[in-house]
Amino acid sequence: MTTVVVAPPTDDSKDRAPRPGPSGARRILFWGVVVLLALTMAWGIHGLVAKPGLNTADPQSWLPKQQLDHPVDQTVTGTVANPGLTVSGDYVRVKTPTFSALALVTGPVVPGEGLPDIQRFTTSTWTISLEDVKGTVPISVADFDSIDHLQTVYKMTLVPGQAPLPSALHTGQRLSFKVRAVMPTGEGLLRWAPDGNNIVAKWDFQVEND
């Protein structure tokens, strides 16, 4: 008689690694991306630090040249032969045979900015500051004026409520005062001619009331 031995069925699932479910696969993908990004950043930092001639304390060794050369608040020189031209808010180093001074104009400030009723002309107020004086600087509000884009000249007046201006500034003294004029909206120049005739400094400005 022949005896047939039947082997018990094997459970193949016990010999196979469990397959990750959808959430497990997403976790594996997420951490894989995190590790890859970390490795990329580490390699980039290593390349930056290991760059020959790099000095992290010296921006000139790693900033682009055009960024280093960009002028910020540059002070220009103004003379009778070559009047200094800049924008409102920047200094002009004025030099004449009898004095030198650092001059600054800010403004204009206008009333009613942002109101719906826009006027073509508006009262404009500037602040004029003089410092670092060497020699004797003649002072007169009549030595300041402004022009618009049509070259129309506007005379300045002293803003009421201020102390009277001195006739001159001497070495080491400084002065700040406000002047105003009624001007049209648009671009213009405020000018200073210390002797009443020869302009030494000009500041570009924009009158806006919208």
Q: pLDDT digit string (tens) for 44-53? A: 555 544 545 5
Contact 149, 193 (CB under 8 A): no
Cα–Cα–Cα angle for 149, 153, 158, nearest 5°? Answer: 120
pLDDT tens per residue across span 52-103: 554 555 545 444 443 334 344 689 999 999 999 999 999 999 999 999 999 9
Least confident of 9-13, 154-158, 168-172: 9-13
Contact 204, 189 (CB under 8 A): yes
pLDDT at 151: 94
Which of 141, 146, 192, 203 has the alpha carbon at shortest distance from 166?
141
pLDDT at 106: 98
Confidence of residue 34 (pLDDT cuts 50, 70, 90): confident
More confident residue, 119 or 77: 77
pLDDT above 70 (res 163): yes
